[in-house]
Amino acid sequence: MSASGAHKVVIIGSGPAGWTAAIYAARANLDPVVYVGVPKQDPGPVLPGGQLMLTTEVENYPGFPEGVRGPDMMDKFRAQAERFKTRIVDDDIVRCDFSTRPFTLHTGEGGAVRAHAVILATGAMANWIGLENEMRLARTGGGVSACAVCDGALPHFRDQALAIVGGGDTAMEEGTYLTKFAKTVHLIHRRDTLRASRIMQERFLSRPNVKPHWNKVVVDVLGEAMIEGVVLEDTVTKARSTLAVKGLFVAIGHTPATKFLAGSGVELTEKGYVMLRTRSSRTNIPGVFAAGDLADSEYRQAVTAAGMGCQAALDAERWLAAEGVH
């Protein structure tokens, strides 16, 4: 903490971006404080540690040749940050005042904390259908996922019938990825036309192992330990049917966790993501940086989030030095 009573840097969020930022900031003697957040239902689970807390096996993060459970990876990230004396607070930041410096951050428990620099790393939440069994199986690794690129190549999905829900470019891209491994990819869409771009539609629907189901919504997910099927309802006739699948991938978008920035002055895109300056982690407010999925609507991978966390810590360190904060 500086002579003014303000922390040198506060990091908001505890996913790959937040922990990586903490590791770099701590090793640079910036004495970072990480606000990890508290569990919520929104309508799906939002957990400290981010979306990896809902990922059973991570096979595409470098350094883990045998794969690693998402929660275990986040435990390792946290332990590494703690090794370098990062201070960790189990609370939310619910409002930010960036109008004066040092900045003032308001906590969920009604307190306030001051900081010379702030790194925003609260991530984004996958949009879920909101069904009880969907969320249960997502939490327990039962074959329900919101990231086909993350999970679709896992052994228990290979050569199986899989379902993907959605109608935008993300659904088409993730569905196309699944066709490389699945026996059949069932596309479930609530209308009879897709909102995805024409080229993305054609690329996906032209695959021989794709079967579209138009005017259908998922109203239940079947299975105890692992998914066994989904119950579909026709949006026109209301008739119900059962589709046997071994995996369900929900691709109906993401919502960046930026509500706490309302009124803060931080520039957001029209979809609510934090807007960054070119080739940096800098926001429009000097001293406020952002990393990970709350500023990345394109890649949304653990490794890219970690890289952005590194950038944010380095940018914050240089900015603090230029401001004479030691």
- 132 and 189 part of one domain: yes
Is residue 185 a part of any domain in this protein? Answer: yes
What is the domain count for the chain? 2
For residue 88, give Cα distances in angstroms to 11, 171, 259, 265.
10, 37, 22, 26
- 104 and 142 part of one domain: no
Strands (E), 102-152: 103-107, 112-120, 124-126, 144-145
SS3 assignment, position 250: strand
Q: Given this model, what pLDDT does residue 240 score?
A: 98
Is residue 1 a part of any domain in this protein? Answer: no
Assess whether pLDDT exceeds 90 at residue 93.
yes
Q: Given this model, what pLDDT does residue 70 score?
A: 87
Distance between start and end Cα atoms, the chain: 9
Q: Sheet holding 240-244: strands in order across?
A: 216-222, 229-234, 240-244
- The CATH number linked to 17 is 3.50.50.60
Residue 173, H or E segment: helix 169-178
pLDDT tens-digit readout, 34-60: 999 987 766 555 677 777 887 667 888
- 50 and 102 part of one domain: yes
Q: Which of 250, 271, 296 is the last residue of a domain?
A: 250
Assess whether pLDDT exceeds 80 at residue 224.
yes
> Domain of 83?
7-125+255-323
Q: What is the average pLDDT across 134-155?
A: 91
Assess whether pLDDT exceeds 80 at residue 151.
yes
- 132 and 120 part of one domain: no
Q: Distance between CA atoms of 84 and 81, rounded to whole angstroms?
A: 6
Largest CA distance in the chain: 69
| Residues classed as catalytic | 147, 150-151
Contact 149, 172 (CB under 8 A): no
Q: Given this model, what pLDDT does residue 56 score?
A: 67
Mean pLDDT, rounded, of the chain: 94
Assess whether pLDDT exceeds 90 at residue 210.
yes
pLDDT tens-digit readout, 178-205: 999 999 999 999 999 999 999 999 999 9
